[in-house]
C-alpha cells in the first residue's frame, strides 16, 4: 500500500465515513482539530485523536523522525494527481498541522518515505525519472476530470509503476542519491535500526518480493520468493525480525507474516477471510500493530481498524503471537499505524474530520496518546500458532 505502500499493492478499498469535526488550517495558529466523541472501545485505549495534516487533497502513511520532532508522509497537493513526499515539524506535547515542506521533485509518483536513523536524510520511492512522466500525469489528470464529470468513483488501486526507484536526500530535497537502477518497481522501503541496510519491495523478477541491500544500494539480496505479493516490510526494533504483508495464499487477501532478518523462520501471524496489512513494531514493548478488516460477509462493507498483538520468541527460536486486540472501531477507515519513537503516541491515516473546504472527510494523518497500561492489561499473551 501501497496508499496502499506501506498502502498495499492490492485492491483494498478505503471507505470514507461522514463525521463532524474541527479543522485546523495548514500552518495556521488555530486550535488543533480533534475527532468527534469517541466510542467506548477507543476511549479505553486512545486519547481523542488530533489532526496533524491539512490543506492537502489527501495525506497518509506518516512516520516519525528518530527524535520525534518531525514527521514524513505522502500527500496529494491540490491540483495534483499523484502523491508527493513531505516533511513537517511535529511537537509531541501539542500536535497540530504545521507547514509541510516538499522533499520530492514534484514530478511522477512517489511513496514510502522513511527517516534515516540519524534523522538527517529521507528514504523514499519516486518515478520522476520516467521519460514519459509528463504524459503519465496528463493521462491521470484527464481520467480524474472525466470521472468527476460522470460522477464516477473508482475503486482504489495502487500502480506498480515500473519507473519507481529508491532515493535518499537531505530533508530539504537536496543531495538526491539514487539507490536502485534495476528495471521494474522498487518501493515500500525502510532502514534497518542501525541504518546499515534498506528493506524494499521489487518486482524485478516478475513478482513483488522483499529484498534487502546495504544503505548505499550495494549487496542486494532477495528474502522472499513465493508466488503472490509480499510487501510493506519493517525491521523489528532489535533488527532480528521483519514483519510484512502477503497475499500468497489468496490474491488480494493480505495477511501478516514475520520472518527472521535473513528470510528464514517465516510464520503467518494472521489468517482467515480478511485483509490485514501495514504491520508496525512498537519500539519498547513486544507489540505488533496492523490494519485489518473482516471480509467473510460479501454483503457487508469491510471496515478497516487497528489491531495489536503481543509477540515473543519461543525456546526453539520460533516467532509467537497472541490473539489480536482491536483498538479502533470508527466507521471510517483507520489504516497505516506508526508509533512514536518512545512508543507513547500513535499516528495513523484516517477519514475522520470534516475535511478542508467542507469537502467531507478525506484521508489525513491523526495522532493520539496511547494508554499503554490499558492495552497491556487487555492483550492476550503470545502463544504458538497463527492468530485470526
Tens digits of per-residue pLDDT, 363-386?
999 999 999 999 999 999 998 755
pLDDT at residue 150 in the model:
75
Residue 177 domain-assigned?
Answer: yes
pLDDT at residue 83 in the model:
95
Residue 221 has pLDDT above 70, yes or no: yes
Percent of the chain having pLDDT more than 70?
85
We report the CATH number of the domain holding residue 325 as 2.120.10.30
Residue 35 domain-assigned?
Answer: no
In this structure, of 24-33, 62-71, 190-199, the range with the lowest mean pLDDT score is 24-33
Alpha-carbon distance of 10 to 246, in angstroms, equals 10
Residue 43: what are its φ and ψ, rounded to 5°? -65, -25
Residue 194 has pLDDT above 60, yes or no: yes
Residue 327 has pLDDT above 90, yes or no: yes
Dihedral sign for Cα 171, 82, 339, 365, please: positive
- Stretch 339-359: mean pLDDT, rounded? 82
pLDDT at residue 66 in the model:
98
pLDDT higher at 270 or 29? 270
Query: Into how many domains does the chain fold?
Result: 1
pLDDT at residue 11 in the model:
36
Q: Evaluate whether 248 touches 270 at the Cβ level (below 8 Å).
A: no
Residue 106 has pLDDT above 50, yes or no: yes
Q: Evaluate whether 77 touches 91 at the Cβ level (below 8 Å).
A: no
Q: Evaluate whether 232 touches 257 at the Cβ level (below 8 Å).
A: no
Which residues are registered as beta bridge partners of 364? 350
Residue 20 domain-assigned?
Answer: no
Domain that holds residue 272: 40-378
Q: How far is CA 266 from CA 223, 259, 269, 276, in A?
A: 10, 4, 10, 17
pLDDT at residue 359 in the model:
52
Alpha-carbon distance of 199 to 128, in angstroms, equals 21
Q: How far apart are the first and last CA of the chain?
A: 21
Q: Evaluate whether 348 touches 338 at the Cβ level (below 8 Å).
A: yes
Percent of the chain having pLDDT more than 90?
74
Q: How far is CA 334 from CA 17, 42, 92, in A?
A: 11, 12, 21
- Stretch 245-251: mean pLDDT, rounded? 95
Residue 30 has pLDDT above 60, yes or no: no
Residue 25 has pLDDT above 70, yes or no: no
R_g (Cα) of the chain, nearest Å: 19
pLDDT at residue 33 in the model:
53
Grid coordinates representing 211 are 529484498
Grid coordinates representing 322 are 497472541
Please state the pTM of the whole predicted model.
0.88
Q: DSSP assignment, residue 138? A: H
CA nearest neighbour of 213 among 182, 247, 173: 182
Residue 164 has pLDDT above 90, yes or no: yes
Residue 387 domain-assigned?
Answer: no
Instruction: Give pLDDT tens digits for 117-140.
Output: 999 999 999 999 999 888 887 777
Write down the residue that cell numbers 468513483 correspond to. 153
Residue 372 domain-assigned?
Answer: yes
Query: Which residues, including other chains, have CB under 8 Å from residue 238's CB and lie 6 or more apart?
Result: 193
Q: Evaluate whether 263 touches 223 at the Cβ level (below 8 Å).
A: yes
pLDDT at residue 22 in the model:
27
Residue 326 domain-assigned?
Answer: yes
Query: Which residues, including other chains, have CB under 8 Å from residue 212's CB and lie 6 or more apart?
Result: 197, 198, 199, 200, 220, 221, 223, 261
Residue 34 domain-assigned?
Answer: no
Residue 339 domain-assigned?
Answer: yes
Residue 354 has pLDDT above 80, yes or no: no
In this structure, of 29-38, 110-119, 159-168, 292-301, the range with the lowest mean pLDDT score is 29-38
Amino acid at each position: 500500500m501501497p496508499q496502499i505502500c506501506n498502502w498495499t499493492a492490492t485492491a483494498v478499498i478505503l471507505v470514507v465515513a461522514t463525521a463532524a469535526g474541527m479543522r485546523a488550517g495548514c500552518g495556521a495558529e488555530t486550535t488543533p482539530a480533534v475527532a468527534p466523541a469517541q466510542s467506548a472501545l477507543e476511549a479505553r485505549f486512545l486519547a481523542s485523536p488530533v489532526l496533524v495534516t491539512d490543506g492537502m487533497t489527501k495525506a497518509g502513511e506518516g512516520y516519525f523522525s528518530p527524535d520525534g520532532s518531525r514527521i514524513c508522509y505522502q500527500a496529494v497537493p491540490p491540483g495534483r494527481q499523484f502523491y508527493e513526499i513531505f516533511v513537517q515539524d511535529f511537537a509531541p506535547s501539542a500536535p497540530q498541522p504545521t507547514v509541510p515542506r516538499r522533499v520530492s521533485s514534484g514530478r511522477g509518483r512517489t511513496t514510502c518515505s522513511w527517516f534515516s536513523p540519524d534523522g538527517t536524510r529521507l528514504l523514499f520511492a519516486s518515478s520522476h525519472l520516467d521519460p514519459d512522466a509528463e504524459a503519465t500525469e496528463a493521462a491521470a489528470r484527464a481520467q480524474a476530470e472525466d470521472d468527476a464529470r460522470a460522477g464516477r468513483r473508482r475503486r482504489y488501486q495502487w500502480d506498480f509503476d515500473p519507473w519507481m526507484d529508491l532515493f535518499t536526500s537531505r530533508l530539504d530535497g537536496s543531495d538526491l542519491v539514487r539507490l536502485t537502477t534495476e528495471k521494474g518497481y522498487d518501493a515500500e522501503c525502510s532502514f534497518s535500526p542501525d541504518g546499515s541496510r534498506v528493506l524494499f519491495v521489487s518486482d524485478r523478477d516478475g513478482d513483488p518480493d522483499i529484498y534487502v541491500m546495504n544503505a548505499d544500494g550495494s549487496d542486494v539480496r532477495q528474502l522472499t520468493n513465493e508466488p503472490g505479493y509480499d510487501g510493506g516490510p519493517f525491521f523489528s526494533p532489535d533488527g532480528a525480525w521483519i514483519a510484512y504483508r502477503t497475499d500468497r495464499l489468496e490474491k488480494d487477501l493480505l495477511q501478516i507474516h514475520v520472518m527472521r532478518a535473513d528470510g528464514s523462520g517465516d510464520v503467518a501471524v494472521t489468517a482467515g477471510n480478511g485483509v490485514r496489512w501495514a504491520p508496525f513494531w512498537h519500539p519498547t514493548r513486544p507489540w505488533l500493530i496492523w490494519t485489518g478488516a473482516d471480509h467473510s460477509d460479501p454483503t457487508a462493507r469491510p471496515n478497516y481498524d487497528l489491531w495489536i498483538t503481543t509477540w515473543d520468541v519461543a525456546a526453539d527460536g520460533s516467532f509467537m503471537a497472541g490473539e489480536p486486540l482491536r483498538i479502533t472501531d470508527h466507521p471510517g477507515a483507520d489504516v497505516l499505524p506508526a508509533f512514536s519513537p518512545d512508543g507513547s503516541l500513535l499516528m495513523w491515516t484516517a477519514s475522520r474530520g470534516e475535511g478542508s473546504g467542507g469537502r467531507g472527510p478525506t484521508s489525513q494523518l491523526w495522532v493520539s496518546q496511547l494508554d499503554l497500561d490499558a492495552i497491556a492489561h487487555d492483550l492476550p499473551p503470545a502463544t504458538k500458532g497463527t492468530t485470526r
